[in-house]
Chain A
């Protein structure tokens, strides 16, 4: 029952849509498989076969035929295994697949195949092969089931056919396993590549008023260089500052010579101070008195001369009058004169100690002054570097401004790289997990399991044992094209 004569649109589109239907609507295949009465892993195989039209479900074949055709044809088993049959509402009326329906069988299934479906025909066929041998009717059924020609079946014999089925099943499973492992490995490699690519550092280009970042990458996107270019404004400032820096450095170089007199002056002060400090306080006091008397001597002598001349003019030279008591008789003017000298000496004597201390303190002060000059010799030279250092510091500050775009680009790139790396890691993990999840379904071989199930059927164990020379099993030989048990 179907569409007998298609319209133009349907004729044009039916095959392309059927080819992508399972992708467009993922629950479709298991839903069809379920509608056809298949269960478990067979659901997807049967559904894919019916959808592809490769299986003859439409023509009224049995479910077993659908399974066989789908299995032998490899009907998209790997494609549909990942789709859960429960993704589609499976509330199908049981009457469709009940007694007399597509799934009904007159023979109770006795062999459960690895594909988790009942191989009624395989069981029947195996029983017939074991019980009847390779007679004409049985050979036809085997040929129909396996696709082998009757002639080939006759040549192989029962045991050979069983061995071939077993080998074909094993090989199919191994092939599927290899493909699944390869697929998984490929997925893991791809996942690692994605993660590594996502984790690559990706700086961001940034331009500011003061400069522009300049990152270079190779063909694979790896960063091979990082730099920046200063703006013309910054470069202009730096060029002018460079001139100032040159001048400042020259001044610094000349500073030692310029400040050298300070060293000489300091040494002189140190020598002078030494002289002051080398004199004892007593000697200093004596020296003070002596110097002061020497300073006073000319004026005192002048005063004496004037006094003597006055007395001579008055005719009183040599005249003296008694002073009373035990004092010597003298001229009053002369007595006053000498008394003033004595008074002056007394005053000098009284000041001499203080003056001595002052001189010693002064000598010590000379050392301080000399040390200060010497210190200025060095500090002056240090200060002479200031113009150069200031120019360089300013230029360095300008350089930092020009560097900001590169630093910003690196910082932003680091943040975005971290997030993309995390995204890549998640994607990688997802792919790896998906690959692991798909590994078992991919390794599942409908045809392999079907054939292995047939070969593992206990009803044909004897024939298989015979083929592989197991001693306790019945032995068979082909005699005139017939399988005959031999002792």
Chain B
């Protein structure tokens, strides 16, 4: 199980990469919420993938086959981390 120190390191890495690439932190919050919705209604998965591509975080999506739950989990976790950083002021709104 990841330690709190590891979580802090990943959080820092996420923050730095967002700033480096000039990404809008709110995109991650929105995608995180969409990913949560997918867990409750898998039919929303294509829209979620399209939103990821539209945000520029991916260049192409494969709309056939099974759901990639790792991607879902990553965006939910990223959304949560960014939400915390926005709330604490680590990232600008």
Contacts and interface: CB of A to CB of B under 8 A. Distances in A.
Interface of A: 1-10, 12-14, 16-25, 28, 31-32, 34-36, 47, 50-53, 57-60, 76, 78-79, 88-89, 91-93, 96
Nearest to A61: B66
B58 A5 contact: yes
Contact of B2 (A2, A9, A22): A22
B11 to A, nearest CB: 8
A3 B74 contact: no
A366 B61 CA distance: 130
Contacts of B56: 7
A57 B70 CA distance: 10
B29 interface: no
A23 B65 contact: no
Contacts of B40: 35, 89, 91-92
Contacts of A17: 10, 14, 74, 77-78, 81
6 contacts: A1-B66, A5-B60, A32-B73, A36-B69, A51-B69, A89-B40
Interface of B: 1-2, 4, 6-7, 10, 13-14, 17-18, 21, 23, 39-43, 45-46, 49, 52-53, 56-74, 76-78, 80-81
Contact of A28 (B53, B67, B71, B73): B73
Contacts of B6: 19-20, 23
Contact of B62 (A2, A52, A96): A2
A6 B39 CA distance: 21
Interface SS majority for chain B: helix
A61 B92 CA distance: 42
Nearest to A51: B73
Given A5-B60, A34-B39, A58-B65, 19 more contacts: A2-B49, A3-B71, A6-B58, A9-B57, A10-B74, A12-B13, A13-B13, A14-B74, A20-B6, A21-B73, A24-B7, A24-B80, A28-B77, A32-B39, A50-B70, A57-B69, A58-B66, A79-B1, A92-B42
A338 B34 CA distance: 155
Contacts of A36: 69
Contacts of A8: 21
B74 A4 contact: no
A51 B70 contact: yes
A23 B39 CA distance: 18
Contacts of B2: 19-20, 22-23
B52 A3 contact: yes
A3 B76 CA distance: 15
B66 A18 contact: no
Nearest to A36: B69
Contacts of A7: 56-59
A313 to B, nearest CB: 147
A59 B62 CA distance: 13
B45 A25 contact: no
